[in-house]
Amino acid sequence: MAELLGQVADVDIDPDGVFKYILLRVTVKGGAQSKDIVRDHIFEKVNPELEKLGLECNCLGGGKIEHNSQEKKIKVFGLSTGYGKADHSVTVEKLKTVYKDYDITWSDDKK
């Protein structure tokens, strides 16, 4: 079951710009193992793709990400109007696993 979760990337976001994001908890159907992932896609797009793999996902909230690959900076902020605010500290920890040499910050600011 853990190998199923291993097939899902922790982070999948645009390389540059300001965009909405969602924080999802992915669980193996009928199992207890789960992991959190960050996506810049809408839930309705991500969920069917994960269900095909035998996984269930639950949206934990969202916000916005400002990604500047030239300066190697990422800022996480704001909230999702549809899902509420994600725990940005969890999002930042996930981003740090992929963008190891970046300056990654978060705030509760709207901009």
Reported as a single tens digit per residue, the pLDDT across 82-94 is 999 999 999 999 9
Q: Do residues 104 and 93 touch, judged by C-beta distance below 8 A?
A: no
50: number of CA atoms within 13 Å, CB side? Answer: 28
Q: Is 111 annotated as a binding residue?
A: no
Q: Is residue 21's pLDDT more than 90?
A: yes
Question: Residues 27-77: pLDDT tens digits?
Answer: 998 888 999 999 998 899 999 999 999 999 999 999 999 999 999 999 999
Mean of the per-residue pLDDT values of the chain: 93
Look at residue 42 in the predicted model and tell me its pLDDT: 86
pLDDT band at 97 (very low <50, low <70, confident <90, very high): very high
Which residue's entry shows tokens 């963008």?
99
Question: Containing H/E element for 23?
Answer: strand 17-28
User: How far, in Å, CA of 68 to CA of 57, rounded?
Assistant: 28
Give backbone dihedrals phi and psi of 39, rounded to 5 degrees, phi first: -135, 145
Selection from 4, 16, 7 nearest residue 74 by Cα: 16
The proportion of the chain whose per-residue pLDDT surpasses 70, expressed as a percent, equals 97
Selection from 67, 84, 78, 82 nearest residue 12 by Cα: 67
pLDDT band at 2 (very low <50, low <70, confident <90, very high): low
Q: Is residue 96's pLDDT more than 90?
A: yes
